[in-house]
Amino acid sequence: MSEEHWHEARLIPISGIRGQDEQERRATSALLAVLTAVHEFERELLKPLGAPAGKVSAFCEVPFELADGRKVRVDGVVRVVRGKRAWTLVVEVKTGKAELDKEQVEAYLDVVKQEGFAGLLTISNEIASVYGQHPVAVNKVRYGRVPLYHLSWARILSTALVANDHIGIEDPEQDWILSELIRYLQYEGSGARAFDDMGPDWTALRTALREGTLRRGDDTATGVAVRWEQLLQHISLSLAARLGGDVHPVLTRREARDPTVRTTALAKELVDEGTLSGKIAIPNAVAPLEISADLNSMMASASVTVAAPDLARSTARLNWLLRQLRSASDSLRIDVSFEWIKFTSAELLGAIRSDPKGVLAGTDRPPRSFTVVQTSRVGTKRRSGSGNFVKDMEKLVDEFYREVVQGLKPWTPPAPKLAVEKPEPAEEPAVSEPETDALAAGS
C-alpha cells in the first residue's frame, strides 16, 4: 500500500468535529494545553494580561456554585503559580460565528468576583474595534472593577506565529507542539475564523451612497465604520504575524479611551466624503502606513509620507527619494508639499523619472515632504471570495509595504567632517655669519 494516502497522526486532530459545542470544547482544550506546554507562547499571550512568570496549569469545564445558588460551568481556568502567589484567570470561548452573550459573560464575572480571581478572558472571532476594549458592554456599576479581557482567535493565531517564527522556541518538542496548534487554528473546521466580512450594513450603505440618501445618524454608516476599524485590526495582526513586531492602528489618546469617538468620526467621514481612512504603525518603518477607501468609486489607496532631506537644492531632495524608489512601479503617485506655502504638486513616478523638475512645478520653494501613493480598484463584495473588499484591501497593503515602505529610510544628515589640517611650512636652517676677526686673519 502506498504511504502517500496515509494520514499523519496529529497532536490536535482536526477530523471528527461535530457541532458548535464540540468545536468550542476542542479549541479550548487545545489552546489551554499548549499554554501549559510552550513557555514562550504562554508569556506572549498571558503577560499582557498581568500573569506572572511561574508554573502554568489549565483546566476545562470547571463547575462553580455562586452564593445565590446559581451553578456556572466555565469553559476553562488558567492558573499561574509563583512562590506562594496564585494568579487565576477564567476563560470563556466561542468559535465560528457564535458571539459572546452578555448574560453568560456577567455570570462568569460573578465567579471571578466571588472567588477573587485575577479576571475573565473571553475568546471569540469578534474583533474589538480598539485593542484593549471589550466587544460586550457589561454592567459597569456592578463589574467595573473586575478585570475583563478579550482576545480574538486572529490575535491568538498571530501571537502563536510571532512566537514560532520570530521569537523562536528553544525546545524542539515545544516548537512542534506550537506548530500543531498553529496548524489546527488555520484549519477552517477549528472555528477560528479570519476577518472576511464587512457586515450586514455593507450593501445598504453602498446603495445609499450611490443614491445620495446617506445622512448623518444613519445606522448603516456606524455599522460599516465599526467593520472598517476591525479590518484595520485584522490587517495589523496579519502584518504582525509576518513581521514579528507590534503592528497596530494609530489612535489618539481620546480614541483609545473611548472607541465611539473614532467610530463617530469615521461615520461622519462616510456621510460627508463617502470614504474611510486610517493609519497603521509598523515598528521601525519610516512613517505610519495610511489606508483609504472611496466607496463611491471603489478605489483604494495605500500611502506613506516622508520628510524631505535637508539639502540645499530642490532637485537633490527629490533625487534622494527617487534613489530609494529605483525598483518601484512607474504607476506610483508622488505628492509633493513645499515649505512655507500650501501649494502641492503631484505626478506619477514614471513621468518624474523622465522629467524630475516637472513635479517641482517651477516653484523656488524647496520640498517639505513627499507622499508615495499606490491606488487600486477594490471589490464590492462584503464576504470572502473573488471581488471581496477585505481581501483586496489586504492585497493592496501587502504589496505597498513590500514594494515601497520596507525599503524607505528617513534622511540622516552626514556626520560633520573635520577640516584637513595643512602642514606647517618647514623652517629654513639659519646661516651663520663669519666672525670679523676670522675674516681679517684670513685676508
Instruction: Indicate whether 443 pLDDT > 50.
Output: no
Task: Output phi, psi for 205, to 5 deg.
Answer: -65, -45
Tens digit of each residue's pLDDT (9 = 90 or more) over 382-399: 887 778 999 999 999 999
Instruction: Indicate whether 419 pLDDT > 90.
Output: no
Instruction: Indicate whether 9 pLDDT > 70.
Output: no
The mean pLDDT of 226-249, rounded to a whole number, is 92
Cα distance between residue 30 and residue 194, in whole Å: 18
Tens digit of each residue's pLDDT (9 = 90 or more) over 164-182: 888 888 889 999 999 999 9
pLDDT at 440: 47
Q: CB atoms < 10 A from the CB of 398, how many?
A: 15
Locate 65 and state its grid cell.
456554585
H-assigned helices in 199-298: 202-211, 219-243, 253-257, 259-273
The mean pLDDT of 321-349, rounded to a whole number, is 93
Q: What letter represents residue 241's amino acid?
A: A
Cα distance between residue 429 and residue 422, in whole Å: 21
The mean pLDDT of 249-260, rounded to a whole number, is 88
Locate 106 and state its grid cell.
456577567
Please give the residue that has the higher pLDDT: either 194 or 336.
336
Cα distance between residue 34 and residue 376, in whole Å: 41
- C-alpha of 293 from chain center: 18
**How wide is the angle at C-alpha 314 spanned by C-alphas 308 and 318, nearest 5°?**
55
Cβ within 8 Å of residue 145, ≥6 positions away: none
Q: CB atoms < 10 A from the CB of 264, how many?
A: 16
The mean pLDDT of 257-283, rounded to a whole number, is 93
Tens digit of each residue's pLDDT (9 = 90 or more) over 277-319: 999 999 999 999 999 999 999 999 999 999 999 998 999 999 9
Cα distance between residue 279 and residue 301, in whole Å: 12
Assess contact for 285 and 406: CB atoms under 8 A.
Answer: yes
- How many helices and strands, by DSSP H and E, does the chain display? 14, 12
Please give the residue that has the higher pLDDT: either 266 or 133.
266
Cα distance between residue 214 and residue 225, in whole Å: 14
Q: What letter represents residue 346's amino acid?
A: A
Assess contact for 287 and 371: CB atoms under 8 A.
Answer: no
Half-sphere exposure of 384 (CA within 13 A, CB side): 4
Tens digit of each residue's pLDDT (9 = 90 or more) over 110-139: 999 999 999 999 999 988 877 778 888 899
pLDDT at 441: 46
Cα distance between residue 300 and residue 276, in whole Å: 9
Closest of 403, 322, 332 to residue 372, by C-alpha: 332
Q: CB atoms < 10 A from the CB of 376, how many?
A: 16
pLDDT at 20: 80
Averaged pLDDT score across all residues of the chain: 89
3-state secondary structure 291-351: EEEECCCCEEEEEEEEECCCCCCHHHHHHHHHHHCCCCCCCCEEEEEECCCCCEEEEEHHH
Half-sphere exposure of 104 (CA within 13 A, CB side): 14
Cα distance between residue 348 and residue 334, in whole Å: 6
Assess contact for 137 and 129: CB atoms under 8 A.
Answer: no
pLDDT band for position 223 (cuts 50, 70, 90) = very high
Rg (C-alpha) for the chain, rounded Å, is 31
Cα distance between residue 121 and residue 111, in whole Å: 12
pLDDT at 316: 92
